[in-house]
Structure formats: structure tokens, C-alpha cells
Structure 1
Amino acid sequence: MTHVLILSGTGWLGSRIAQRWVDRGAEVTSVARGLRPAPDGVDLVIADRSASDAYRDVAERDWDEVVDVSSNPVHVRDAAEALAGRAAHATYVSSVSVYAGAAEEDADETAEVVPAWTEADEDDYARGKVAAEQAAVGLAARLAVVRPGLIVGPGDPTDRFGYWPARLAAAGEGPVLVPETRGRVQVIDVDDLADFIVSAGARAFDGVVNAVGEPHPFEEFLTLARQLSGHTGPVRAVPAEWLERHGVGYWMGARSLPLWLPDDMPGFATRSNAAYRAAGGRIRPLEETIARVLDDERARGVARSRGSGLERSEELDLLRLEGSGTATGV
């Protein structure tokens, strides 16, 4: 039997990885704080990874596969020290945020990364991921480092990707505010990512891959989302400068237009996925992912308050303020 240990594995992605290993007939153990239930068939070891004895119940066993999804480099380092010599293979889930630049399109895994995190009290996601990648080398002699782009799909807790199909569906015949942008949208479906991580572990894949989908112009993404959501109202595109002047942020967070990026970051959403594809990674059509997300958003409520995006009342206020605006052909 295959023995799999998943660290921090009860969240959105981690639970999917765990369930796939269970479905393969593996014996799966997850170390987590116990704030969320583990999937059926997973042995949950409740532990705080900041504690000195966090790995007490798993450090004396041998593992065929260890998966770590933590963004805390201290947690990854401590796990590597506790499990040294115990794992045949390990997978660390990193991020394309590790890259230092976003100006070059189609950059691959050899692109420069930011300096590694060094201060115990420093809160820097990208530098933390770099340090965690370095620490993960100690988990096993054979290591897969998977660098996803924006992970999307049903159940997404970040509310970024789902904002658009949900807002378009909720607006119906009403207007929707969008940014004028030459930017792209490049995502990875959470289930494609989970499938790849498990298959990579099963065959002991050793290497680094950007787990990213194909880049799509922002306007193409909106067109697909409109078609699938049935939105028939006007789409009003306004310049980035106007949005920023009126306190609308980009990428994520409250009072933002999610996924939108400044035009001087063309490389951020155009990373090369050649290595991921060569390693057997799947990229489902964007419209399929949008449809899956739209079904999930409808189940959760397309008009709900969200962690990312504009409230509908904020959007309507901005539309009124902007006036007639610029209608787009999206």
C-alpha cells in the first residue's frame, strides 16, 4: 500500500489532493490544526505546525509521498528536519509569485526568482515561497516543485475569478463596470492542479514546473463569462487611471476589479506552461472552468458579499459617477 503524508492538507487544494490519493487506494495521513474536517478516509493528525512536537506522530514512519502546501518557510523547514530520510518522494506546492520580474512574456522556470525570506517576522508571500522551496529540498531526495498560477474553480475561497461570472449573472440586463486593459487572464483549474500533483507524486516526478493554463486576453475572458452567464446589459470599460483615482484596486481584495493587472506587467499572466504540459499536466478549456465556477457561484449566491471585488452598490455609484462612459464590444 502507498503511504501518503499531506502537511496542511485540509484546505481547498489540500483536501482535493488527499481525496485523490484515497481514491487511488493509498493510506493517507494529514497533519493540520483541525479547523476543518479531513476528507473521508484520511487519518487527521491535529497539530500546530509552529509547535516543537508538531511531527511527533508522523516522524517515525516511512512515507512514499509527502505533500506540503504551506507558505510558511519555517513550517516547511521544520517538517524537512523532522522527516529527514523518511520520504521516498515529496511535492512542494509553491507559486509563480516567486518570480522577480513580470515584464517578459512566456518566461519559463529558469526565470530569476526573488531573494529568499530571511527575517522571522517578515510578511512577504513571494520571498516566503522561495525560502520554502529551498527548505523543501530536505523533505526527500526526489522533489517536485509545482508553481501554480492563479488557482480557480468551485469552492474558491479568494472570490477573485468567480467575481466576474457571478457579477455578470447578477447584473442580468444591467450595466457592469470593467477596466480598460491589454492584460491577460492565466489560471489553473483546481482539479487539474490536484490531478497533476497526485500523478507527479505517484511516478516520483523530480523537477520544477509552472502549473499554469493558457493566457487569454481579459476581453476574451469577459466575453466567455458573459455568454455563459447570460448577461445582456451594457459593459462599460473605463481607464485604469480613472479607476485608481476613485479608489478601485486591481487583482484582488475589497473594492477591486479582480484579475485586472496594470499594463506594465505583461509577463505575470503569460508564464510558459511547456514543462507542465510535457510532464502530463492537463489544461481544460477556459469556458469549462468558467461554467463550473458559475454553477458554484449560483449555488452560493451570485449577489453575495465577497472578499474580492466591488459591492454592487459601489459599482453602481461608480457607473453613475463615470457618466455615459465608454461602451465596449465585449
Structure 2
Amino acid sequence: MKLLILGGTAWLGHQTAVAALAAGHDVTCAARGSSGEPPAGADFLRVDRDADDGLAAAAGEQWDAVIDVSRQPGQVRRSVRDLRAAGGFYVFVSTGNVYAGQREFGQEEDAPLLAPLAADVMDSMESYGPAKVACEQAVAAGFGAGSHALVRAGLIGGPGDTSGRSGYWPLRFAQGGPVLVPDVPGQPTQLIDVRDLAQWLVQVAEQRTAGVFNAVGETVPFSEHLAEAAAAAGVGEPDAPNSRVAESPLPRITVPATPQWLREQGVNEWSGPRSLPLWLEDPDWHGMNARSHARARSAGLRLRPLRQTLKDTLAWEEAAGVGRPRGAGLTPAEEHDLLARLADAASLLPEGS
């Protein structure tokens, strides 16, 4: 297969190129090149997708399939226009943020969507969902039924995750000592390994698997995610290798704190500075981590065990340097301070409370 990847130098695009090369395909990565280099063995086409004729060189060739990871509607509208005759099948990587509601568990692909962004440029993350809806609409209109796939990815993790969302917990358990966690054991989490997603994107392109798909991981409670992270770090309870930790209590080395207390201390949810990753207090967003992947699984999506993803992510985090700044989590000093405050607060409670 002669495959054009619009991107291929940043995380998911790079992994997709790696997977396609491993499968023996002829791969070209079209990008500015500012996010890194394509993998060895891939051809590189330097393009500027913001220019009206930015894909002229790619449009002059024939491709069996195109994989696109853009979030900018203008870029996608131009690529659909220019590659309609040159690309046999178009795979667009979208997001679960396109859905109008994020509360419902088990949400399938026919759920209502947000209104599309009219502008060509998404100028802030607040417009991320509407921008991806606009991109989806451009692909569907340009390539038509049977000639495209819309892949709505969930939270992506694994080696190379610079956001810190998938690496924080296994790394923190590996560092030892009491671990501050939000006391939300039943909150759902859902993580797909970047390598599993990349391999499936290539498969979808190979087999011309048309349709709309939720590409998400297994839904597990927060307590189970923490237990798997601890096991990946070698500090979990004795267990069969890579078996799921069903109905897991919080690992013994954790120190749970109520969401209210954490908010009062200025601890943020989900990601970013001074945060506890994957914690989401608002139930209106819990369905974001509990979507159905039945359609994608039926179409060949394979998921490795969560523990393996977290173990490999831990290895990558340690190789990248444990002391470097991260996009999510608490610093050691922040966590030490919070644990001390929590202990002081507990000491002031009446005996027996």
C-alpha cells in the first residue's frame, strides 16, 4: 500500500508511520517538519497545510490511502479538495470531544454531535470539539460513503506521552513513599495505547474499513487504574502477570483525599500544573471515559493489557528523565506539602470521627 500520512512527525502520526513501515507499506509523511523527523524508512514531503497550494506536490501523485490527524478545519477542507482524486481512501483521526454530551456511559457513534466550527482555524482548545466536527463533515462530504473512516479517539497514552497523564501514576508508585490520590475509586477511566491505535489506523487504511468508530480503551474504575499502575511499578499486590485487578481497592501505599479537600488546596483535575491526572469530579464528563468500543473491536481493534501500557510508559518516563518538567501531576515538593497538610487536618478531627 502506498500510504500518505498528513503529519507523521509528532507522536501519534509518528507511531502510525512506524506501524505502517513494519507492515511493509510504502510510507510518505507530509508535514512542516517542526515537530520532529519521520521514522527511518519513510519518505518526507515538506508541506505547509495552511497555504492554499500547500499539498500540490502530494496531489500530483496517487495514494492508496491517506491518514490525517489535523484539528484545523481549513487544513482538512483543503486536503479533501486537493486529494479527492489522488487518494483512494481517507482515514481521519477525530476525537470523542465531538459529542454533544459527555455524561452517558456506553455512548455509541450515532450520539448527537456538537455544531461544527464555521471558521477555518481553531484558535483555542475550547473550540476543539466543534473544529473536529467540521473536519469530519469535510471528509464525509468530499470522499463519500465507503471511501472514508472517521476514527474518534479517546484518551491516548503510552510511551512518548508528554502530557504526563498516562505516565504520572506508574512513575509516582515507582518512586515509593505514600502516594496522594483523589478518593474517587469508582470514577471511570479509559486509556488507549498509542501503539494499538496506530496499528489499527493502518489496518483500517489497508482494509478500507469505512465508517465511524470510537477508538477507546477498556473502561476501568479509578481504583483499578491505580492498582494497575502500582503493579506496573512493581509495588502492587501479588497477582498473575498482566491479569486485570478486578474490583480493586486502593493500593495500600496510597493516601486518599476527598475531592473537596483537594479543591480547597488548589489541586487541579485531569492534567496541567499541580494536578492529579485522570481525576474528573464533574459527572457530566464521566461518560467521556466510558464510551462503547464495540464497533471498533468488531472491526479489528486490539487492545493490550492496561498494565503493559503503564509498564512501558514507566520505562519511557525513566529513560526520558524523572526530574524533567511534566504536563500533569504534582511535583515532589507539592505532594509532600499536601500530605503534611492532610495529616495535620486529620489530627484535628475528634477521636473516632
Structure 1, 312-321 or 137-146: larger mean CA deviation = 137-146
Residue 206 of structure 1 is matched in structure 2 by 210
The answer to whether residue 325 in structure 2 is matched with residue 305 in structure 1 is: yes
Write the distance in 1 (CA, Å) between the matches of 2:210 and 2:83: 18
Write the distance in 1 (CA, Å) between the matches of 2:12 and 2:181: 29
* SS of residue in 1 equivalent to 2:288: coil
Residue 88 of structure 2 is matched in structure 1 by 88
* SS of residue in 2 equivalent to 1:41: coil
* SS of residue in 1 equivalent to 2:130: helix
Write the distance in 2 (CA, Å) between the matches of 1:296 and 1:198: 24
C-alpha displacement at 1:257, in angstroms? 0.7
Matches within 5 A, 1:215-234: 215-231=219-235, 234=253
| Matched length | 323
Q: C-alpha offsets along residues 262-289 of structure 1, whole Å, 9 cap, x if unaligned?
A: 1513311110010011001001111111
Residue 140 of structure 1 is matched in structure 2 by 143
The answer to whether the 8 Å contact 1:238/1:325 transfers is no
Residue 51 of structure 2 is matched in structure 1 by 51
C-alpha displacement at 1:230, in angstroms? 3.5
Q: C-alpha offsets along residues 36-61 of structure 1, whole Å, 9 cap, x if unaligned?
A: 11111211111221112211211122
Structure 1, 152-161 or 201-210: larger mean CA deviation = 152-161
Query: When the two structures are superposed, what TM-score results if normalisation uses the length of structure 1?
Result: 0.93
The answer to whether the 8 Å contact 1:166/1:303 transfers is no
C-alpha displacement at 1:138, in angstroms? 4.8
Unaligned stretches of 5+ residues in structure 1? none
Query: When the two structures are superposed, what TM-score results if normalisation uses the length of structure 2?
Result: 0.87
Write the distance in 2 (CA, Å) between the matches of 1:259 and 1:211: 18
Matches within 5 A, 1:227-246: 227-231=231-235, 234-246=253-265
C-alpha displacement at 1:186, in angstroms? 0.5
Residue type at the aligned position of 1:135: A
* SS of residue in 1 equivalent to 2:92: strand
Write the distance in 1 (CA, Å) between the matches of 2:188 and 2:181: 14
Matches within 5 A, 1:312-327: 312-323=332-343
Q: C-alpha offsets along residues 79-130 of structure 1, whole Å, 9 cap, x if unaligned?
A: 1111122211110001111111122111111111111112356421111111
Residue type at the aligned position of 2:17: A
* SS of residue in 1 equivalent to 2:328: coil
C-alpha displacement at 1:66, in angstroms? 0.5
* SS of residue in 2 equivalent to 1:146: strand
Residue type at the aligned position of 1:45: L
Write the distance in 2 (CA, Å) between the matches of 1:75 and 1:132: 9
Matches within 5 A, 1:127-276: 127-138=130-141, 140-141=143-144, 142-170=147-175, 172=176, 174-181=177-184, 182-231=186-235, 234-264=253-283, 265-276=285-296
Structure 1, 226-235 or 6-15: larger mean CA deviation = 226-235
Structure-2 change in CA distance of 1:126 and 1:325 (3 Å):
farther
The answer to whether the 8 Å contact 1:250/1:261 transfers is yes
The answer to whether residue 297 in structure 2 is matched with residue 292 in structure 1 is: no
Q: C-alpha offsets along residues 282-325 of structure 1, whole Å, 9 cap, x if unaligned?
A: 01111111111122122223343211111111111111112267
Residue type at the aligned position of 2:111: A
CA RMSD of aligned residues (A): 1.7
The answer to whether the 8 Å contact 1:167/1:303 transfers is no
Q: C-alpha offsets along residues 158-202 of structure 1, whole Å, 9 cap, x if unaligned?
A: 1111011111112x1x11111111311101111111111001100
Structure 1, 128-137 or 16-25: larger mean CA deviation = 16-25
Residue 105 of structure 1 is matched in structure 2 by 105
Unaligned stretches of 5+ residues in structure 2? 237-251, 347-353
C-alpha displacement at 1:19, in angstroms? 2.2
* SS of residue in 2 equivalent to 1:268: helix
* SS of residue in 2 equivalent to 1:144: strand
Residue type at the aligned position of 2:332: R
* SS of residue in 2 equivalent to 1:237: strand
* SS of residue in 2 equivalent to 1:223: helix
